[in-house]
Structure 1
C-alpha cells in the first residue's frame, strides 16, 4: 500500500511531465502546445495519483499515467481556439 509522501509526489509529477511531453510529440502542432501539455499532464497525474492513493488502489503510479493521458486527451479535444489560431494552423 502506497502512502502519500514527497517521493510519491515527485514520481507523480515526473510521470505527468513525461506523459505531457509524449502527448505533445504525438499531437504534432495541434492542441494546446508543449507547455500546456506538460503542465496539465503533471497536474492530471498528481490529481489522479492522489485520488488513487486515497482510495487505496493498487499501483497508483500506473493509474496516474493512464489518468494523465485521459486528462490531456479531454483537455486537447475541448480546448477553445479562436478563428485566427485555426487559420494560422491551416496555412
Structure 2
C-alpha cells in the first residue's frame, strides 16, 4: 500500500507542473494564463493524489494525473474568453469571396 511520503508528493507536484504547462501551451490565450494553469494543475494533482492514497486506490500517480486534468478542464472551461473580448477587434485576414 502506498503511503503519503515525500516521494509521492514529488511525483504529484511533477505531474501537476507538467500537465499544467502542456495544458496552458495548448489553449494559449483562450483560458486562464500559463502560470494559473501550472498552479491549478499542481494543486489538483496534489489534492486528488492525496485523496487517492487516503482512499487506498491502487496507483495514486495515475489518479493524480486524471485529477489534474479534471481540475484544469473545469478551471478553463468556465473561464473561456474570445480573443475579441481580450484584445478588441482582431482581423484574421480572412477574405470572403461573394458570388455575383
Match of 2:2 in 1: 2
> Hey, what's the Cα distance between the residues in 1 that align with 2:89 and 2:46?
34
Match of 1:53 in 2: 53
Match of 1:62 in 2: 62
> TM-score scaled by structure 2?
0.80
> Hey, what's the Cα distance between the residues in 1 that align with 2:69 and 2:88?
24
Structure with bigger helix share is: 1
**Cα shift readout 1:59-87 (whole Å, capped 9, x = no counterpart):** 10001011100100000011376xxx824
Q: 1:31 to 1:90 in 2, by over 3 A?
A: farther
**Cα shift readout 1:10-62 (whole Å, capped 9, x = no counterpart):** 11001000000010121122110100000110000001000000000011000
> Which structure would you say has the larger Rg?
2
Tell me, which stretches of 5 or more residues in structure 1 are unaligned?
Answer: none
Number of matched residues? 89
> Hey, what's the Cα distance between the residues in 1 that align with 2:86 and 2:21?
25
Q: CA RMSD in A?
A: 2.0
Tell me, which stretches of 5 or more residues in structure 2 are unaligned?
Answer: 91-100
Alignment map for 1:12-91 (pairs within 5 Å): 12-79=12-79, 86-88=85-87, 91=90
> Hey, what's the Cα distance between the residues in 2 that align with 1:68 and 1:38?
10
